[in-house]
Every structure is written in structure tokens, then in C-alpha cells.
Amino acid sequence: MSIWDKLKAELIDIIEWTDESRNTMVWRFPRYQNEIKYGAQLTVRESQVAVFVNEGQIADVFQPGRYTLQTQNMPILTTLKGWKYGFDSPFKAEVYFVNTKNFTDQKWGTKNPIMMRDQEFGPIRLRAFGSFALKVKDAGKFIKEITGTQGHFTTEEVAEQLRNLILTRFTDAVGESKIPALDLAANYDELSRIVTDKIGTEFSDYGLELTKFLIENISLPPEVEQALDKRSSMGILGNLNAYTQFQAANALESAANNPGGVGSDMMGLGVGLSMAQQMTQALNNANSHQAQAPNLNQGPPPIPNANIQYFVAVNGQQQGPFNLQAIDQMVKQGQLTRDMLVWKQGMPNWIKAGEVGDLTNILGAMPPPLPPQ
């Protein structure tokens, strides 16, 4: 330090800190040889605390306000220095400003999956992440336990240690709660309170206070999520037979609106319907066998007439073939009327659907056309 800097420091008698950062927790006031003049002005702003340290020992702590440094408002330092009747010469002491505001949006998350035993899935792995907020509660203890003699201390320097502490207590809380994995999302608040209670005393040992702990997400491994998606999809589909009919009706409507691509679309639709019907029949047979015990004295059930298939003329284009089940769905959707032409193998010509015996019962539920006005 130059002579001018030394003289300039001697002339300065105002001790204060204007924090321009967002993450500084402790800042040491710079003075030449730590000398402070008698009667110096100390300004401590809101959300700050000033801590005087004498030869490594915590002395007086000043809350927000403006002070004239004298014997009366420095009782501990006066005792340490042996001042009985005041002092006139500069004295040596380190002044640390501690930021007591809330440090929000501190992130935490699992580096590795958490192993736990679930009631429904058995052993599974979970990942979790969230945020927390903290503040300095005891400035003297925080300097003594964490910062030491550092002149500048930020949240990043203590965040890693705090995150490890949070993850340990969070893992313990999730394991002890016995909450099923699918119900964890409905219990974020409860888990947050449990973790806050567990960590509160340990933060206090460092002079800190955990003011907020939030769980943003707890997720399952990708393979478990895929299995859940499949299960949910089956639950949404419900009746596979009704779903197949619905898909067939939609495909027929799309084909009617796009005559140019009817041939290939309807060929694919016919193949898809045939496969879907075979799957549906197999599922229905399996469910029937589970619901009723087999009777060995009874012969096999009659084979349904599933080979009857009709072609339908739509906008002058041939579509099909469709079995009776698909045609029934087409009638219900209003896509097949009595006057539309149909044909099946063995018929010499195309005839109106209302004149075909196989389709009479299906078209019987359809009202006749309205008379002309």
C-alpha cells in the first residue's frame, strides 16, 4: 500500500457496506492494518449485521442502525482490550458485514437415483429436485463455524455442503414415509415439512435458518414411466371391439372425402379390420373361459358366419370388403343407407343394400327417408 493510501485510510472514519451482489453472505471491511479510529461512524443497513472480531475472537455484534464507536457501545471489545475509562488512539479489529437477507432459489437435486421399496412396484429408483431458501440467523456462529477469516464469502461456497445435507435427510424422509410412488406427487407439502423439521436443527448449528424447502418434481425411471403409459392407454381404450369399430368408421369417412386414394386406404382398412376382429374374438374367448368353467359334456360353440363380406359403392368407387359387424357400425354412423349399392361374392350384379337379406336386420333399425316437403 502506498503512503497516500495509508493516509487516506487513516482519514476515513465511516465504516459501512453497500451490497451490489445477490449472493454475498459475508464481506470484510478493508482498513489499513485493521485500524479503527475512536469515534468512527458505523452504519449497518437493513438485512445486515456487523461483527467485530478481535484477535480471532468474536466481540461485539451490531444490528441495523448508525453508531458512533465508543466504549459504551462496545462492551465486549472494551473488556478484551482492557479499556476501563475509554480510549483515544486507533484500535485494531476486523469488521465483518454479514448479509441476513433471504437467499432464495438455491437448487438441490439427486445426483444418483434413490433406491426405495414401493408397495406396488417393488424395488424402484427415484429422482427428485427442487429449491430452498436460507438466511443467516446467528452471524457470530456463522463466521465461527463456516466462513472463518475469509474476506468474501458467497452462497456457492456453502451450497454444496447444504445440498448434501438436504439430500441425505430427504432420502431418509421418503423411505420412512412409506408413501406409494404414485402418491408422492400428492404429498409434496407433507414431505417438505418433514424435511424442514429434520434439517432445521442442523442448519442452526451453522448459524443458518432454512426458511423454505420446496420439492418441484419426483420422477420414476423411464422404463417404469413407459409401463405406466401402456397401462393408462389400455385403461383409456377400454372395450377393444368398440374402439376397432370407431377406427373403422373414421377411416371410411376419410376415404369418402378422398376418392383418389380410396383403393389403397380401403385395402389397408380391410386388413386392419380383419386383424382387429381376430384379436377381439381371441380376447373375448379368453375372458369367457375365465368367467365360466368349461363343460366337457357340451359340444363346441357354433362358428359365427364371419366369412360374409360386402363391397360398398361410395361416390362411384368400390370400397371394402367389410364384414357384417363393420357394416353395422357404418349404418349406425349414417355412412351406409338402403339405397347404396353393395356386392358380395356369388351375386351377379350390384344391388341396393335394402334388398339384401343379410343386411335386412341391420338396416331395419335405420329410419326410412323423410317424405318430400
Who wins on pLDDT, 223 or 21? 21
Judge whether 206 lies within some domain.
Answer: yes
Domain identity same for 242 and 337: yes
Q: 143 with 26: CB under 8 angstroms?
A: yes
For residue 340, give the DSSP letter: S
Lowest pLDDT segment from 301-305, 314-318, 363-367: 301-305
Domain identity same for 110 and 163: yes
Judge whether 293 lies within some domain.
Answer: no
Q: What total of structural domains would you count in the chain?
A: 3
Domain identity same for 250 and 324: yes
**Among candidate residues 174, 192, 225, the one where a domain is terminated:** 225
State the chain's mean pLDDT as an integer: 78
Q: How far is CA 202 from CA 10, 129, 166, 188, 244, in A?
A: 42, 20, 10, 22, 60
pLDDT at 302 over 60: no
Domain identity same for 205 and 92: no
Model confidence over 96-118: pLDDT tens digits?
999 999 999 899 998 888 888 88
Q: Residue 139 CB: number of other CB atoms within 10 A? A: 25
Domain identity same for 340 and 242: yes
**Among candidate residues 51, 83, 99, the one where a domain is terminated:** 99
Q: Which residues contact 353 (CB under 8 A, 6 or more apart)?
A: 312, 336, 337, 338, 339, 340, 341, 342, 359, 363
Helix spans in the chain (H):
3-11, 75-81, 139-142, 156-177, 188-205, 222-237, 240-256, 262-291, 324-332, 360-364
**Among candidate residues 225, 253, 271, the one where a domain is terminated:** 225
Domain identity same for 169 and 53: no
Domain identity same for 182 and 258: no
Nearest to 184 by CA among 261, 247, 237, 126: 126
Q: 314 with 263: CB under 8 angstroms?
A: no
Judge whether 233 lies within some domain.
Answer: no
pLDDT at 4 over 50: no
- Say whether the peptide bond before residue 368 is cis (omega within 30 degrees of 0): no
Average pLDDT over residues 237-261: 62
> The pTM is what?
0.56
Beta bridge partners of 131: 107, 214
Domain identity same for 208 and 92: no
Domain identity same for 29 and 107: no
Domain with 12, as residue range(s), is 3-99
Domain identity same for 125 and 75: no
Judge whether 342 lies within some domain.
Answer: yes
Percent of the chain that is helix, strand, coil (3-state, to 5): 45, 25, 30
